[in-house]
Amino acid sequence: MTNTTPPQAPNSVGTPAAGGKPARVKKIVILGATSGIVLEVQRQLARRRWELLLVARSPQRLAALQADLLIRGASQVLTYSADLSSIAQHNGILEFAFREFPDFDTVLLAYGSMHNQKDSQTSIPVLLEELQVDFVSAAAILTPFAAELERRRTGCLAAITSVAGDRGRRSNYVYGSAKGGLSLFLQGLRSRLHPAGVRVITIKPGPVQTPMTDGLPHAARFADPQHVARDIVRSLERRSPDVLYTPTIWRYIMTAVRLLPEGIFKRLPL
């Protein structure tokens, strides 16, 4: 970034504060840790003294997150730098996670990409990239994690999809179909892993104020990331629901949207 080396930072090795240790520290692998939607989730988990393995592309950003989360109370923060959209790099991620963070009990997939719909319907490379990032690579990285949790017969697998995946709309159907595909994938996984006692959570946020939605119309009215993070953390800690809509109002909105007959829906400028 610059030609000067930064002076020594104040010693940033976080020591988990003393005090009542919870019965068992939860350990989570976060795929896409620098994603805007999950930053606040990580902080709330840190406050609850969770241990985290953060996976994202930029080493500098991971270093900043690591320092921040340790000071805010995380018991341990490991980082691994990789491009999740590239399936060739998945083996490295898995090896690192199984070796350095072996007894993780939760996996949260949080990365995604949203292109402008116009670009993704006119440019095949953009279309393919969107499907690759939001669906193909996500399915690819979730599969070995699912197998591992199934083998251990415990744990929780969660992924952030979107309300946009509940119904195809003219304004957003490429992103929507990738996220919708991921939702279906998770639904199947949930059914497969249920006998093994592994929980699978589909997280469907409505529009949230994150870098991904900056510049969209009405962005100021989108949900507060802190509110969404509270819902996500609660769902990670509890046994229900299987499909989390956040903020909750979106469960009702999307129920109504799904119930509209196709003959009417196709005429709506949504």
> Which stretches of the chain bind another protein, using CB under 8 A?
1-4, 6-7, 9-12, 14-15, 17, 31-37, 39, 56-58, 60-61, 64-65, 67-68, 71-72, 83-86, 110-116, 118-119, 126, 129, 133-134, 137, 210-217
Q: Which is nearer to another protein, 36 or 144 (CB)?
A: 36
**What's the CA dihedral at 140, 143, 145, 146 to 10 degrees?**
160
Buried (b) or exposed (e) across 176-206, using 16+ Cβ within 10 A? Answer: bbbbbbbbebbeebbeebeeeebbbbbbbbb
Q: At closest approach, how far in Å is the CB of 61 from another protein?
A: 6
Q: At closest approach, how far in Å is the CB of 157 from another protein?
A: 18
Alpha carbons 190 and 197: distance in angstroms, whole number: 10
Q: Which is the catalytic residue, given 80, 111, 175, 245?
A: 175
Q: Is 33 helix (H, G, I), strand (E, B) or coil?
A: coil
Q: Which is nearer to another protein, 100 or 214 (CB)?
A: 214
Q: At closest approach, how far in Å is the CB of 144 from another protein?
A: 17
- Using alpha carbons, list the distances in angstroms from residue 209 to 129, 145, 204, 216, 234: 23, 29, 15, 10, 20
Q: Which is nearer to another protein, 42 or 150 (CB)?
A: 42
Q: Which is nearer to another protein, 215 or 261 (CB)?
A: 215
Q: At closest approach, how far in Å is the CB of 119 from another protein?
A: 6
Report residue 215 CA to chain centroid gap. Answer: 21
Alpha carbons 127 and 79: distance in angstroms, whole number: 30
Is 175 annotated as catalytic? yes
Alpha carbons 62 and 136: distance in angstroms, whole number: 24
Q: At closest approach, how far in Å is the CB of 36 from another protein?
A: 5
Residue 270, both tokens: 């949504």
Rounded to the nearest 10 degrees, the angle between the axes of helix 137-152 and helix 173-193 is: 10
Q: Which is nearer to another protein, 76 or 213 (CB)?
A: 213
- Using alpha carbons, list the distances in angstroms from residue 20 to 17, 48, 49, 103, 104: 9, 11, 11, 22, 21
Catalytic residues: 175
